[in-house]
Amino acid sequence: MKITFHNQMTDAHFVAIPVVEENKIAKIVGPQAASFKSVEGLFTRLNFQGKKGKTLLVPHTNSASPIFFGLGDEKKLAFKDLAEIGAAIYRSSTSLKEKKIAIDLRELKLSVAEAGVVASEIALGAILRSYQYLTYITKKHDELKLALEEIEIITHDTEGSKKAFVRGDAIAKATFMARDLMCMPPNDLYPESMAKELLKLKDIGIDVEVIDEKQMAAEGMGAILAVGRGSARPPRLVIMKWNGGTKGEKPLAFVGKGITFDTGGISLKPGSKMDEMKMDMGGSAIVSALMKTLALRKAKVNAVGVVALAENMPDGAAYRPGDIVRTLSGQTIEVLNTDAEGRVVLADALWYTQDKFAPSHIIDLATLTGAIIVALGHEMAGTFSNEDTLANDLFKAGEKVGERVWRLPLDPSYNKLIDSTVADVRNTSIAGAGSITAAEFLQRFVNKTTWCHIDIAGVTWTPSDTPLSGKNPTGFGIRLLDEWVHRFHESK
């Protein structure tokens, strides 16, 4: 989707026009109010009150046809609503055969953000909602592809909007990359091919290094090697560095679980919906996309992304329940369930990250447990942290952009549930608290570093639409972490 900015109406045949709700009555905002006075009079009869996210398309023969979009009560409008409103405008266009539409934001003044940022957020929401994955469709490709290719934003502040949209554009491009990676079938996306994809990030100034299975063995990464052993596709660890901050400043580190397919291994998963486990590399897709965002918008921060890529397969060579594996940290893991593989690969990735880069913070993202879906459903991700400020900052960032997180406890009483009698730690809990004990397991591999684990199992791949995505891959975490970096860690 192309976004262009203009300071007056263009030749677009459809124009989205903002409408606010005042005492249940819809009022058109901006210079088009006069020309559509007669339609405004019909709003009540058309049952259109200008509620937030509602749209009304009125075909018009003499001028551009208006698509009225509701902002609801202006006073109640939150920042996260802006992108959702953009997405609603996009949705209203999907019934059209038009290649472009305009959105008239002139004279729209909102207290939640400056005009340029408002324009950028609305544009971003529209783009995010326009995502389609049609790569493998050969026959019905043209039929399925939606027509809209360009959105023209009409604004008095074209310069401010363009400037703000540098960030929106970066997020949009990165989100599409993450969604593509998650949708890619596991016969084509495996550790080596994903590493190859990530090497392309070099083109935008990210330093990318790939560690293969031989180097892993030499370094002593017994955990990630154990998980990858059952697959014909060997594991990879990919390190991405963006140095936009002051020289010598400790980096922020992001670590991602990248199981390109999770069969469960010898502890095989049931067959139903197993195909969805191609999204078990979601954490690594989000970490990579965040690095891409930071590079594209030239963030003034030092960041490192580390993704642990492996395929979890049952095989003669596969690791088994009962195995004890030696991790990079020196600690040994008793494997009780090969389906609890995410924490095993992360053990090496987390240790490597804190040891090699001495980061100021580590945030890991992982589709780690089914239990987090039991607890929080598909609405919020779970956070687990050894530091209150970090947990609170992530909460604030999430509330602002609408990628919400909820903190769950870490506590020694849970940590002891993963003590093993034959090794240092076991990879499943003795009893209950599946998401918390998984986080406790990870905590044993971050040493003293300020750290937060985000369990994104429920929010990465959703069974039905979210405001900014159709069903399936969401891209959850990119906006959350970009906002966290921007607000709390970027030199201004």
- Per CB under 6 A, does 367 bind ligand BES? yes
Q: Binding segment for ligand BES among 108-116, 207-215, 364-372, 479-487 (CB under 6 A)?
A: 364-372
Beta bridge partners of 211: 237
Q: Binding segment for ligand BES among 58-66, 334-342, 387-395, 439-447 (CB under 6 A)?
A: 334-342
CB 216 within 8 A of CB 225: yes
Q: Which is nearer to ligand BES, 284 or 367 (CB)?
A: 367
Rounded least distance, CB 369 to ligand BES, Å: 4
φ/ψ of 83, rounded to 5, equals: -65, -35
179 to 198: interface string for ligand BES, x by CB under 6 A: --------------------
From the list Zn ion, ligand BES, none, which binds 370 (C-beta under 5 to 8 Å, kind-based)?
ligand BES
- Per CB under 6 A, does 89 bind ligand BES? no
Binding test (CB under 6 A) with ligand BES, winner from 262, 393, 403, 440: 262
Distance CA 107, CA 39 (A): 20
269 belongs to the catalytic site? yes
Q: Which is nearer to Zn ion, 293 or 369 (CB)?
A: 369
Q: Which is nearer to ligand BES, 330 or 432 (CB)?
A: 432
Q: What is the 3-state secondary structure (H, E, C) of 98-159?
A: CCEEEEECCCCCCCCCCHHHHHHHHHHHHHHHCCCCCCCCCCCHHHHCCCCCEEEEECCCHH
- Per CB under 5 A, does 403 bind Zn ion? no
Binding test (CB under 6 A) with ligand BES, winner from 371, 405, 410, 485: 371
- Does residue 171 sit in helix, strand or coil? helix
Rounded least distance, CB 345 to ligand BES, Å: 10
Binding test (CB under 6 A) with ligand BES, winner from 185, 322, 330, 370: 370
How far is residue 95 from each of residues 18, 69, 147, 477, measured CA to CA in Å?
Answer: 20, 15, 9, 30
- Per CB under 5 A, does 342 bind Zn ion? yes
- Per CB under 5 A, does 259 bind Zn ion? yes
How far is residue 284 from each of residues 7, 26, 215, measured CA to CA in Å?
Answer: 40, 44, 20
Residue count of the chain, please give it.
492
Binding-site size for Zn ion (CB under 5 A) equals 6
- Per CB under 6 A, does 369 bind ligand BES? yes
Binding test (CB under 6 A) with ligand BES, winner from 342, 382, 398, 475: 342
Binding test (CB under 5 A) with Zn ion, winner from 152, 169, 339, 440: 339
Which entry of 162, 343, 444, 479 is annotated as an active-site residue? 343
From the list Zn ion, ligand BES, none, which binds 121 (C-beta under 5 to 8 Å, kind-based)?
none
Q: Binding segment for ligand BES among 124-132, 339-347, 356-364, 472-480 (CB under 6 A)?
A: 339-347
- Considering only CA atoms, which of 356, 317, 331 is closest in space to residue 227? 317
Rounded least distance, CB 171 to Zn ion, Å: 26
Q: What is the 3-state secondary structure (H, E, C) of 221-290?
A: CHHHHHHHCCCCCCCEEEEEEEECCCCCCCCEEEEEEEEEEECCCCCCCCCCCHHHHHHHHHHHHHHHHH
Going through 355-464 in order, the beta strands assigned E by DSSP cover 361-366, 381-385, 405-407, 425-426, 450-455, 461-462
CB 260 within 8 A of CB 281: yes
Question: How would DSSP label each residue in 19-77?
Answer: EEEETTEEEE-STTTTTTHHHHTTTTTTT----TT-EEE---SSSPEEEEEEEE-GGG-
Write out the catalytic residue numbers.
269, 343
Binding-site ranges for ligand BES (CB under 6 A) = 262, 280, 337, 339-342, 367, 369-371, 428, 434, 457
